[in-house]
Structure 1
Amino acid sequence: MTRLTTRAPAKINLTLHVLGRRPGDGYHALESLVAFAGAADALTLAPAPALSLTASGPTAGPAGPTADNLVLRVARHLAERVPGLRLGAFGLVKRLPVAAGIGGGSSDAASALRLLAELNRLPLDHPAVIAAARATGADVPVCLEPRARMMRGAGEAIGPALGLKPLPAVLINPGVPVPTAPVFKALGLQVGDKLAGAAHPAIPPDADAETLLAAIRSARNDLEAPALSVAPVIGTALASLRAQPGCRLARMSGSGATVFAVFSDRHAASRAARAIAAAKPGWWTVATYLR
């Protein structure tokens, strides 16, 4: 069989409500509308007797040791659950920023599962594939089929694909890694605590941009304030987006430091990305679509 290829797109939390911290396992219970960007890592799989991974690309170094990469971890989890699983040599090209609130490692792992499922003729809803995704990380299940949908619980409850119309957007990462743990710590919830706040709005399937923005404008990212206390530059990045003509909504994704803005059209998004990149050449700035 020839080499298999796929993309590992950035996961963007258009909303992120923290409901509380579960008494049983201590995990934070979330409710989040997730979409996926055109910006992505790339992954290949060449059938081979032994499992291996080669990483390259501009952010391969910050991603950490190859031996601990989530691509290898998820492959091992699947091999434990599927006797005789065919494996191979993965090639990962890292382009997305690391520790950035856009699920880069989780999307890489989900992409590895897609390739292994294709190689072994397993459906993506196979129990072993789902179990391997959950065992690898909370965000891996939602990245398995990267289309806009609701995610609830600690990532284990995945809603149906929503079929949202593509949203012209700009993503910014100001170059400061923000690990998730310190942000949740700054949120300050103890096991069993609940976080007050308005309920998440209903998201109509197949919504156009106007309908979607009207629905989520009153929503929020509950991790934005604690992330700002960890990395104040997030506020600077948000302000730079909100100052651009055509910006409809700007918010932080995940636990930061990546922020995004939805724009009125692709031309406004491209102009904004060029202006911000010129003013802040050290930032990762990209115009894209969210789907």
Structure 2
Amino acid sequence: MVTQPDGLYVDATFGRGGHSRRLLQRLSPQGRLLAFDKDPEAVAEAGRIQDPRFSIRHQGFARLGELEPASASGVLLDLGVSSPQIDNPARGFSFRHDGPLDMRMDPTRGQSAADWLATAEIGQIAEVIRDYGEERFAVPIAKAIAARRQERGPVASTAELAQLVAGAVKTREPGQDPATRTFQALRIFVNAELEELQQALEASLDILQPQGRLVAISFHSLEDRIVKQFIARHSREVVDRRAPFAQPAPLKLRAQGRVKPSAAEVAANPRARSAVMRVAERTQA
């Protein structure tokens, strides 16, 4: 990703800093790295990096557009939830650990998953689980959540939600927990992840310099589809059908390819098995 060691690079999802530390190793003394993250714990971890070339903003990557136009040599988007967030029961991201049903990337702002489920209508719940989780049993799950709310009060913990979903999902792919899709859907919705991704991708066109690299790592099909379609849309010349003799609008990106993890990488980190990395380069246009 680092093709201009003296340039400004953006780690749009700091997490626990693995990518940032690697990028800093490749930058020259004149290079700079700016990170973004919504999670206060990630920002605290970033404070351990004592490097004058590095800085972090406690913001989501939807704010990329606030950077100067054509100022960045590269933008990295490592999408989804980080391992420390999943492994901390207090964050409420995982059905494998019982904890409060929160799921916010930034627990200091916005509405938790539990708060939303406490008041949302059946149709709203089903729509979120269907659209963001690609869950075919979305309606039965939504009805189970509403019935539980009426009988014993709102769902408050991850274990309660996982148990409800397991009772409503009749079949599931081998090796996949029945709650997987529902938890994914609620997390994406609560954090407006797909909307923010679209905003960040559009902003990357403005802030990337010519020959600057956009790298996006996705972990599920919804994210990857957005990234794939975005790169494809801006990697072709657009002809205005109303003015067929006019010059086509020039392409803004040049797709550099798609990479999936090797068997060795998956063996070392099983959570990487579904990862897809797409790379594109900003053109001169």
The TM-score, its normalising length taken from structure 2, stands at 0.23
**Higher CA-based Rg:** 2
User: Comparing both chains, which one has the higher relative contact order based on Cα–Cα distances under 8 Å and sequence gaps of 6 or more?
Assistant: 1
TM-score (norm 1): 0.23
Larger helix proportion, structure 1 or 2? 2
Q: Which has the higher strand share?
A: 1
